[in-house]
Amino acid sequence: MINILLSVRRPFCGKILSGEKTWELRQNVPRVMKREHVTLWLYESGKDGERAIIGKCRMVSFALITHMPFGKVLGLFIKDACVSKTHLRTYLPCFAWGVQDPVRLPHAVPLSAIGLTRPPQSWQYLTPEQAAILERRGSE
């Protein structure tokens, strides 16, 4: 099992947790084996964000996007990624991470609870011990 701390700005973090955003765009992708379980712990970043870990979801797939999709595919992808056509165009090439099963934590968890002093710029792997702390905090 792989656990990843993912920095996501508001309002996108909330859109992932509500299930509205099912594709998260990133410049790279973690090394994962086929069928390996990946949990994404969502750190809400940005000046208006909680600046804490507020939820989790599963990464179920990823795809390299090298050019703009077209037709209905473009419309569906933009809707499911909650981005504009212009944003997507300027971000290419990128990876689209498929996310499912979002869960909001009952209380925001500060990074200090897992021994971190600053959030990742994009994402970072978590140790099994850090993930266990977050799981315990999520069931309180």
Q: Which domains does the chain have, with CATH numbers?
A: 2-133 (2.30.130.30)
Beginning with the edge strand found earlier in the chain, give each strand of the sheet holding 38-45 in spatial order: 23-26, 94-109, 52-65, 38-45, 2-9, 123-126
Chain centroid to CA 35: how far? 18
pLDDT of the residue at 137: 86
**Distance separating alpha carbons of residues 104 and 57, to the nearest angstrom:** 9
- E strands, the chain, are 2-9, 23-26, 38-45, 52-65, 94-109, 123-126
> Which pLDDT does position 3 carry in this prediction?
97
pLDDT the model gives residue 138: 80
Give the strand pairing for 94-109 and 23-26. Answer: antiparallel
In this predicted structure, what is the pLDDT of residue 51?
A: 95
Contact 96, 76 (CB under 8 A): no
State phi, psi for 104 to the nearest 5 degrees: -85, 135
Residue segments in the chain with a per-residue pLDDT below the cut of 70: none
